[in-house]
Structure 1
């Protein structure tokens, strides 16, 4: 789930629709349909030292539309500065749309090499960075005269990249991976590595820049860490009782702010943080358990949570969105949207996590709550199937 002006943007089915949901006026909501027949620019980016003739030959016979195979979306990014929406698909194409508060127009569909893991715009909105599951990072120009230009490989990890952050001044690209590493790369001189932030014992699932020099990371080792990413220095570490997966930050200043963290068990935690003399304290404000996978977003200094509500006596099944209202230390979860209209169409509603956490642990073990979570999920699915048969 992403934000644009006063809208939250998400796909309710990861295949047919992109929904624009207004947080101010629900009558302004609209959807756009994914155009799988839009022509593909098949010129893929060239990897380091790759023979381009061979790379181009690999594109021969590539399908020009998605009518012959099951294709779905897997990553979405939005920039307000350039009014653009981007998303990647499992057919290894990158869509780019020009958007406003009322409509959207597709402007390009470009090829890339391997399954994407995340995409991020630069602050100016003129550059999109795409990472893939083999550890490579690519640069796509997104100003109007370059909507269809070839992507460019800029650097790589030796393992799957899980998250990417771009500094506001575009001086650094920060990437985290499955092998416990956080890499700080100079930009545009990407051959120069500024620093590594080393200290996690498991995969680094998410990172967030909170100041000109401070970075927060969460990991499968159940830790949240504060870093001086310029120097690659660990400043503070806190342990959780859960495996964190998603992270969103609202920075009030260089010292204070709020964190929204989801766990593998789909509990969402709200923390207040305070940083004094490079030491971070965390104050837990609230937590809420959800029955489905969740997505998180930040809009106008408020957190939003997307989830699926199962059918019960009072509410139809569908996508729901809660606004997290925080006043002093009081936290309320306010439902602002349910997609009853969407749920009555022929789409299959779902939320897709960016990666399967249970497959990322490197040290030959999984935490107990991962297995417990998978067992509970399996039981919920079986009970739901039994209920449907009973009806």
Structure 2
């Protein structure tokens, strides 16, 4: 496997807790722990979706920001925080809020768009929820604890721990969750139109999962090698304390069946990069977040000061627009002066 190459390096002013690429891969959206989202250029020119200056904060939460995502066409931006609040806004006008998705009772760990209009979230309350993102309406929910208990060996040593999911990935009509509290990876089946979670004849949600190797803790996971024709993909999982990689092939051949292959070693990490008892800042952030008590003060405070907050954001947006216009006018004026000087130098025949 080729070694990764560093394309660019940027030093930021504040600590970052989450990030995502824009669809054109020209910019990164970074969620600061302070609650703000900033746009950082990768190639020197920011994505056309966001008319903001480099490293400018264009939206914010009143609590610790946990995740920032974009929908498939990049028109909507979703953010979530520790205070059980999901915010849906417009990429072109970040100060305009389309909706709030409110329903979780504990800190939200991750969110993702399966398409342009729907959103899936998972939180410390042990529920995965499906939303109409534009309207902020909950369409379906699943309590995951009963399904985790059905996975052999899962939950027996972790029943006293709070539920903690550190990764949510959507591939087609399948939602993959990496569950740190139970050291497993589970898959949840979605309907083809993303309107509900699929259920079997007994009205149970179609959920299946696999455990991490014995005595190893789940850290993170990703999905690779998605073969649409064969209806399968590979889930790669990282565990600690030895930074070990394992993988399973996941098949969704039938509408109501999810199948996992036998686990295999995935020797992709060079030995010199393996570290015993490594540090994982994102996981640590979520673990600390999960310990917080249920606190709706952030939501209440936001609602109370929403009008003033929107006013400040709009004024800041207008100031940046005016600044860009002045800069453009200055450039045009300079070009005009240079053109006049060139014309003066040109001899008259």
TM-score scaled by length of structure 1 = 0.58
Deviation at 1:145, TM superposition (A): 5.2
In structure 1, C-alpha distance between the alignment counterparts of 2:82 and 2:234, rounded to whole Å: 27
Q: Show CA shifts across 1:171-198 (max 9, x none).
A: 1110011000000011121111111000
Change (3 A) 1:346 1:202: closer
Q: How does 1:180-219 map to 2 (within 5 A)?
A: 180-219=84-123
Q: Show CA shifts across 1:303-331 (max 9, x none).
A: 42332366xxxxxx552231433253321
Answering whether residue 189 of structure 2 is matched by residue 272 of structure 1, we say yes
Answering whether residue 266 of structure 2 is matched by residue 337 of structure 1, we say yes
Deviation at 1:207, TM superposition (A): 0.6
In structure 2, C-alpha distance between the alignment counterparts of 1:210 and 1:351, rounded to whole Å: 31
Quote the residue 1:82 is aligned against.
none
Whether the aligned pair in 2 keeps the contact of 1:203 and 1:219 (CA below 8 Å) is yes
Whether the aligned pair in 2 keeps the contact of 1:134 and 1:161 (CA below 8 Å) is yes
Alignment RMSD: 2.9
Deviation at 1:126, TM superposition (A): 1.1
Quote the residue 1:30 is aligned against.
3
Following superposition, which runs of at least 4 residues in structure 1 exceed 4 angstroms of deviation?
A: 144-147, 345-349
In structure 2, C-alpha distance between the alignment counterparts of 1:337 and 1:177, rounded to whole Å: 33
Change (3 A) 1:350 1:338: farther
Larger helix proportion, structure 1 or 2?
A: 2
Q: Show CA shifts across 1:212-257 (max 9, x none).
A: 21111000011110000011111111112162413333443xxx33
Q: Show CA shifts across 1:6-65 (max 9, x none).
A: xxxxxxxxxxxxxxxxxxxxxx3425xxxxxxxxxxxxxxxxxxxxxxxxxxxxxxxxxx
In structure 1, C-alpha distance between the alignment counterparts of 2:27 and 2:243, rounded to whole Å: 34
Quote the residue 1:110 is aligned against.
11
Answering whether residue 40 of structure 2 is matched by residue 140 of structure 1, we say yes
Q: Show CA shifts across 1:146-165 (max 9, x none).
A: 79x84111111000111111
Answer with 188-197 or 164-173: which moved more: 164-173
Deviation at 1:288, TM superposition (A): 1.3
Change (3 A) 1:259 1:158: same
Quote the residue 1:360 is aligned against.
290
Quote the residue 1:6 is aligned against.
none
TM-score scaled by length of structure 2 = 0.64
Answering whether residue 167 of structure 2 is matched by residue 247 of structure 1, we say yes
In structure 2, C-alpha distance between the alignment counterparts of 1:150 and 1:182, rounded to whole Å: 25
Larger strand proportion, structure 1 or 2?
A: 1
Q: How does 1:44-193 map to 2 (within 5 A)?
A: 104-112=5-13, 114-144=14-44, 150-193=54-97
- Structure 2 unaligned segments of length 5 or more: list them: 48-52, 149-162, 199-204, 227-232, 296-349
Change (3 A) 1:30 1:333: farther
Quote the residue 1:221 is aligned against.
125
Change (3 A) 1:185 1:303: farther
- Structure 1 unaligned segments of length 5 or more: list them: 1-27, 32-103, 311-316, 366-391
Structure (1 or 2) with the larger CA radius of gyration: 2
Q: Say how many residue pairs are matched.
A: 254
Deviation at 1:206, TM superposition (A): 0.6
